[in-house]
């Protein structure tokens, strides 16, 4: 049995198992391929997992291990080097593990579709969160020529704080939530931004896909903003992962 899997912690929110299981069925591979979920509270458990699962042919990586997994790999593809985070691991025939990033492709492609009616270079973005997913978002924004500021709970040389958003929001009409805030089962939560300042000129993109319409997106929609959830990005990055595993 050819096995593929997702590692991260926790994994209760993941759609990956359902997505790939259905994909295997559609491709007529359900008897020879399976997709598993491995909750790893500590990335140090990865070597033992690999020993215990000799049929693994590829891995997806999610929160909180997209950066922590990198020292366990034998090399990085250019996509992972560009982003500084890994969400796909390819098992090479010679036994090496190579890290890739398909989040970049999934986000960039879906964002271009989302903004297709506007003039992309004229818009500026606030990126909420600076974890592994946020790094893929930033890399895509740079390549699209979109100016941005990253927002974190703690201000630093690289990030502004949430307290600074009210004075900036008029000039930043694309707001991208890269944090897990609002993910099921904590769906009643949302990022701390001044929703009352939003209008129909704003674009809200939430990388969260469970629920499909987070409180962040609901509040934006109430103000007339255009909204977009993370499900198209999930599908795009998953297909890219499959392509990577079989290239």
Domains identified in the chain and CATH numbers: 2-101 (3.40.50.10860), 104-232 (3.40.50.720)
Beta partners for 99?
76, 89
Examine the residue annotation and report whether 66 is marked as an active-site residue of this protein.
yes
Which entry of 23, 26, 36, 66 is annotated as an active-site residue?
66
Decide: 121 and 174 in contact? Cβ < 8 Å: no
Helix or strand holding residue 141 (H, E): helix 132-144
SS3 228: strand
CB 62, CB 88: distance < 8 Å = no
**Nearest 5°: phi and psi at 90?**
-100, 130
Cβ atoms of residues 103 and 85 within 8 Å: yes
Question: pTM of the full predicted structure?
Answer: 0.90
Sheet holding 88-91, edge to edge: 33-39, 2-8, 56-61, 88-91, 97-100, 75-76
Per-residue pLDDT of the chain (247 residues), as tens digits, is: 999 999 999 887 678 999 999 999 999 999 999 999 999 999 999 999 999 999 999 999 998 999 999 999 999 999 999 999 999 999 999 999 999 999 999 999 999 999 986 666 589 999 999 888 899 999 999 999 999 999 998 898 889 999 999 999 999 999 999 999 999 889 999 999 999 999 999 999 999 998 999 999 999 999 999 999 999 999 999 999 999 999 8
Residue with tokens 């929160």: 63
Question: Per the structure block, which two tokens stand in for 129?
Answer: 């969160």
């Amino acid at each position: 049995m050819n096995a593929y899997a997702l590692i991260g912690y926790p994994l209760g929110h993941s759609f990956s198992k359902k997505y790939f299981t259905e994909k295997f069925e559609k491709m007529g591979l359900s008897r020879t391929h399976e997709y598993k979920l491995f909750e790893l509270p500590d990335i140090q458990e990865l070597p033992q997992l690999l020993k215990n699962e000799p049929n693994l042919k590829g891995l997806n990586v999610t929160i909180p291990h997209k950066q922590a997994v990198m020292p366990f790999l034998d090399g990085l593809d250019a996509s992972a080097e560009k982003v500084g985070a890994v969400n796909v691991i390819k098992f090479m025939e010679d036994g090496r593990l190579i890290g890739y990033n398909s989040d970049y492709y999934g986000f960039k492609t879906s964002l271009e579709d989302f903004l297709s009616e506007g003039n992309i270079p004229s818009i500026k973005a606030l990126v909420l969160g600076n974890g592994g997913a946020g790094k893929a978002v930033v890399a895509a924004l740079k390549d699209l020529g979109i100016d941005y500021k990253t927002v974190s709970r703690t201000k630093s040389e690289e990030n502004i704080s949430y307290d600074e958003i009210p004075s900036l929001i008029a000039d930043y009409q694309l707001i991208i939530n890269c944090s897990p805030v609002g993910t099921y089962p904590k769906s009643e939560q949302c990022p701390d931004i001044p929703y009352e300042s939003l209008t129909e000129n704003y674009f809200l993109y939430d990388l969260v896909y469970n629920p499909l319409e987070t409180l962040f997106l609901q509040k934006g929609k109430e103000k007339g903003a255009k909204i977009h959830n993370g499900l198209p990005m999930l599908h795009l990055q998953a297909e890219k992962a499959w392509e990577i595993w079989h290239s």
